[in-house]
């Protein structure tokens, strides 16, 4: 029974308090919630938690082990950085939903049974939607509606899968499930896949994240997909299918990222690319693979958060996120520029930056298992990520041609939040064995800093930069254009409405045809009947009394004539 | 790169074309150096492809060129006007 405090409830209670406060007090209390909760979480150790009996079933709403603790720490850091970033740019709605959202994510990673997981899975969906709606533009409202529909679909799939899995196996435990245990397991797998943004299920992410506020996107990028990565690492490690799904995720979004104009949408595509590396690591399933996957999830929250924060600061100051309208901002936002470049170096996995020490674990794990084709794809994606996230983002926002925009540097609170993330990226990247490697689920005997690794990584990155330079100077590089690019969302934003409009129009015309044709026949029948029996018909005609009297007189006259003859 | 901003009135670091040239020449030098190291330093090799001299550099360069040129072709099919999804009569 409860002997440890569940951090989710601290976050929920904090959200309630924050909702009642206003102004500076609100921002301060919101910022303190993850700090207070972290004090409790640091005291937790593997084996802590709650087990309860509910209607004769053993449930474990709170389970602490190395894997859940790592994500627990991570989500506290992410919530703190997000709320610090929101100090000036946030409002009540975003702080409250941000805290509820972070609390739901904590609830999900500490869930030991599938019922608890389902509850927090749905709470994640609902609370995060308000961060999309928080932008309060017609576009973000519509995007949020699409977002919540897909998130709820994931929740319902999880519920259906859980019920079937329970009927099949009699177990509600949220631990290794694997694909072999029937339909229920497959549905749970799919539910995780939706939130994990698998190919064809990914579009909710690239649709909604760039539509949220600067603060909203920073929160959104930290939690939902990482909970999904955690869930896959927990329940489906070593599932070979994940290797191929992950490889596809690393490769296809970078093509979209190259031609996308909205720079936060570029980052959203690049997020799918990074999650792809994690999914591959989980699919490999070796200790190195799993360690690499969760280590990369940890780093991704920090560097992707940093990149989203720098772009959010640009949006906050300039009001636009289009690469075609930006450029030259290093002149007026130099500090943000530097932080953005730290994030860019980290995601690109430059030596001394965090991506270098985690992504390579996954790539090495792939090589150990002799997945040759996947290895080539991951190398391609590594070059590609540098190209679109490492170069394109800083280049088009801060350098390129001068847009003439002269704005103020980002607010102090945003800069401090970015500074913390940037420091963490460099610290983890430089000293992984005294930081990140200590909290990974398995003991680490991987050494990232070998001469070969540093050299090969530098070769791949600098030659990617060379390719960018050559393409740019020769004019082959596609210009930034104000545009949208069709993706899977076209199927439900254009095709499906068009089909339903078509069906409606067809139903309408066929109804009109039936109406017209049927009525014509009925009318004819009616007219025929009416002709016979209607008031004007011969049978129903009312004769004037005068004519009857006349006819009577005629009859009498005839009778008289006949009588006398 | 840009972390050493030197402001003098309205001239910024990259307003001077010389500084852009410096960055480019720096990049070319680094690339040449990284390529040449392969002939001197014996990398630890796990995959047969890695034995090729300059494999990582060539692969990175080709990957990026292919990526960009393919993406450019994708634009012909996928690109629409900015207000493509907006309901009529709304900005």
User: Which tens digit of pLDDT belongs to each residue from B11-37?
Assistant: 788 888 898 999 999 999 999 999 999
- Examine the domain organization and report whether A478 and A497 are in the same domain: no
- Examine the domain organization and report whether A28 and A98 are in the same domain: yes
| Residue A82: domain span | 1-234
Residue in B closest to A255 by C-alpha:
B71
Q: Do A334 and B5 touch (CB under 8 A)?
A: yes
- Examine the domain organization and report whether A250 and A344 are in the same domain: yes
B47 close contact with A: CB closer than 8 A: yes
Q: Other C-beta atoms within 10 Å of B21: how many?
A: 10
Domain final residue pick, A234, A254, A285: A234
* Whether pLDDT at B3 is above 50: no
Residue A541: its pLDDT value, please?
66
**How high is the ipTM of this complex?**
0.87
- Examine the domain organization and report whether A497 and A553 are in the same domain: yes
Burial A541-554 (b: 16+ CB within 10 A, else e): eeeeeeeeeeeeee
Domain final residue pick, A456, A472, A487: A487
CA dihedral in degrees (A11, A14, A16, A21; nearest 10)?
Answer: -150
pLDDT tens digits, A372-406: 999 999 999 999 999 888 999 999 999 988 888 89
Task: Please check whether residue B88 lies inside any domain of the structure.
Answer: no
* Whether pLDDT at B86 is above 90: no
Residue A564: its pLDDT value, please?
81
pLDDT under 70 in chain A at which residues? 1-3, 538-543
Considering only CB atoms, which chain B residues are within 8 Å of A360? none
DSSP secondary structure code for residue A537 in this structure: S
- Examine the domain organization and report whether A223 and A89 are in the same domain: yes
- Examine the domain organization and report whether A244 and A227 are in the same domain: no
Domain final residue pick, A439, A460, A487: A487
Domains of chain A: total: 3
Pairing outcome for strands A484-485 and A49-54: unpaired
The Cα A130–Cα A269 span in angstroms is 22
Q: Round to the nearest angstrom and report the end-to-end CA distance of chain B.
A: 39
Residue B89: its pLDDT value, please?
55
- Helix (H) or strand (E) segment spanning residue A219: helix A214-222
Q: Do A338 and B34 touch (CB under 8 A)?
A: no
Closest Cα partner for B74 from A204, A481, A442, A125? A481
CB A364 within 8 Å of CB A438:
no
Residue B8: its pLDDT value, please?
45
The Cα A393–Cα A264 span in angstroms is 9
Domains of chain B: total: 1
Q: What are the phi and psi torsion angles at A500 (to 5°)? A: -70, -35
- Helix (H) or strand (E) segment spanning residue A59: strand A57-63
Task: Please check whether residue B22 lies inside any domain of the structure.
Answer: yes
- Examine the domain organization and report whether A188 and A311 are in the same domain: no
- Examine the domain organization and report whether A81 and A216 are in the same domain: yes
- Examine the domain organization and report whether A527 and A515 are in the same domain: yes
Residue B1: its pLDDT value, please?
42
Interacting residues of A85 by C-beta distance below 8 A, sequence separation 6+: A214, A215, A218, A309, A312, A413, A414, A417, A418
- Examine the domain organization and report whether A404 and A310 are in the same domain: yes
Q: Which two tokens stand for residue A86?
A: 């929101």
Task: Please check whether residue B91 lies inside any domain of the structure.
Answer: no
Q: What angle (nearest 5°) sits at the alpha carbon of residue A142, between those of residues A140 and A146?
A: 110
Q: Round to the nearest angstrom and report the end-to-end CA distance of chain A.
A: 127
Task: Please check whether residue B85 lies inside any domain of the structure.
Answer: no
| Residue B69: domain span | 2-78
- Examine the domain organization and report whether A274 and A413 are in the same domain: yes
Chain B: closest CA distance from residue A383 (Å): 5
**Selected residues 8-27 of chain B with any CB under 8 Å from a CB in chain A:** 12-14, 24, 27
Beta bridge partners of A53: A58
Task: Please check whether residue B86 lies inside any domain of the structure.
Answer: no
* Whether pLDDT at B9 is above 70: no
């Amino acid at each position: 029974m409860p002997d440890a405090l569940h951090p989710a409830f601290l976050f929920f209670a904090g959200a309630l308090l924050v909702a009642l406060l206003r102004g500076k007090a609100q921002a301060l209390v919101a910022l303190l919630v993850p700090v207070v909760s972290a004090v409790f979480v640091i005291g937790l150790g593997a084996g802590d938690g709650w087990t309860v009996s509910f209607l004769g079933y053993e449930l474990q709403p709170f389970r602490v082990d190395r894997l859940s603790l790592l994500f627990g720490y991570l989500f506290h850091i992410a919530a703190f950085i997000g709320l610090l970033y929101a100090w000036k740019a946030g409002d009540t709605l975003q702080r409250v939903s941000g805290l509820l959202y972070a609390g739901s994510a904590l609830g999900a990673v500490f869930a030991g049974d599938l019922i608890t997981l389902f509850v927090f899975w749905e709470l994640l969906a609902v609370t995060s939607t308000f961060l999309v709606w928080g932008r309060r533009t017609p576009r973000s409202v519509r995007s949020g509606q699409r977002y919540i529909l897909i998130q709820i679909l994931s929740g319902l799939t999880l519920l259906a899968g859980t019920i079937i899995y329970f009927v099949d196996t009699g177990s509600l435990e949220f631990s290794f499930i694997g694909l072999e245990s029937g339909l229920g397991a497959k549905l749970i797998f799919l539910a995780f896949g939706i939130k994990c943004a698998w190919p064809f299920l990914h579009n909710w992410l690239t649709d909604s994240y760039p539509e949220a506020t600067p603060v909203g996107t920073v929160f959104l990028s930290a939690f939902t997909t990482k909970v999904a990565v955690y869930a896959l690492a927990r329940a489906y490690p070593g599932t070979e299918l994940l290797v191929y799904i992950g490889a596809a995720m690393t490769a296809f979004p970078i093509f979209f990222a190259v031609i996308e104009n909205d720079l936060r949408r570029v980052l959203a595509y690049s997020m799918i690319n990074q999650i792809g590396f994690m999914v591959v690591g989980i699919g490999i399933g070796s200790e190195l693979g799993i360690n690499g996957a969760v280590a990369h999830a940890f780093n991704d929250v920090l560097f992707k958060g940093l990149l989203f924060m720098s772009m959010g600061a640009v949006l906050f100051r300039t009001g636009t996120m289009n690469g075609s309208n930006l450029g030259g901002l290093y002149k007026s936002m130099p500090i943000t520029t530097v932080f953005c470049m730290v994030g860019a170096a980290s995601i690109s996995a430059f030596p001394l930056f965090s991506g270098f020490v985690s992504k390579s674990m996954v790539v090495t794990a792939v090589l150990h298992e002799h997945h040759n084709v996947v290895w080539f794809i991951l190398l391609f994606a590594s070059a590609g990520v540098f190209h679109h996230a490492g170069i394109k983002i800083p280049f088009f926002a801060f350098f390129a041609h001068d847009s003439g925009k002269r704005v103020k540097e980002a607010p102090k609170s945003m800069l401090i939040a970015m500074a913390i993330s940037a420091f963490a990226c460099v610290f983890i990247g430089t000293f992984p064995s005294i930081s990140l490697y200590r909290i990974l689920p398995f003991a680490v005997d991987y050494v990232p800093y070998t001469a070969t690794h540093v050299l090969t990584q530098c070769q791949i990155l600098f030659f990617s930069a060379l390719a960018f330079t050559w393409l740019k100077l020769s004019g082959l590089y596609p210009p930034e254009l104000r545009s949208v690019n069709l993706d899977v969302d076209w199927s439900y934003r254009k095709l499906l409405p068009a089909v339903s409009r078509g069906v409606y129009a067809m139903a309408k015309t066929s109804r009109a045809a039936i109406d017209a044709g049927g009525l014509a026949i009925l009318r004819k029948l009616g007219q025929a009947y009416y002709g016979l029996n209607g008031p004007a018909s011969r049978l129903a005609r009312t004769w004037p009394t005068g004519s009857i009297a006349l006819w009577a007189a005629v009859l009498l006259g005839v009778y008289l004539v006949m009588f006398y003859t | 790169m840009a972390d050493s901003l030197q402001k003098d009135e309205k001239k910024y670091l990259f307003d001077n074309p010389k500084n852009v040239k410096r960055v480019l020449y720096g990049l070319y030098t680094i690339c040449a150096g990284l390529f040449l190291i392969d002939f001197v330093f014996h990398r630890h090799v796990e995959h047969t492809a890695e034995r090729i001299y300059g494999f990582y550099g060539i692969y990175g360069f080709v990957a990026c060129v292919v990526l960009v040129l393919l993406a450019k072709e994708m634009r012909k099919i996928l690109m629409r006007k900015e207000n493509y999804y907006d309901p009529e009569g709304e900005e």
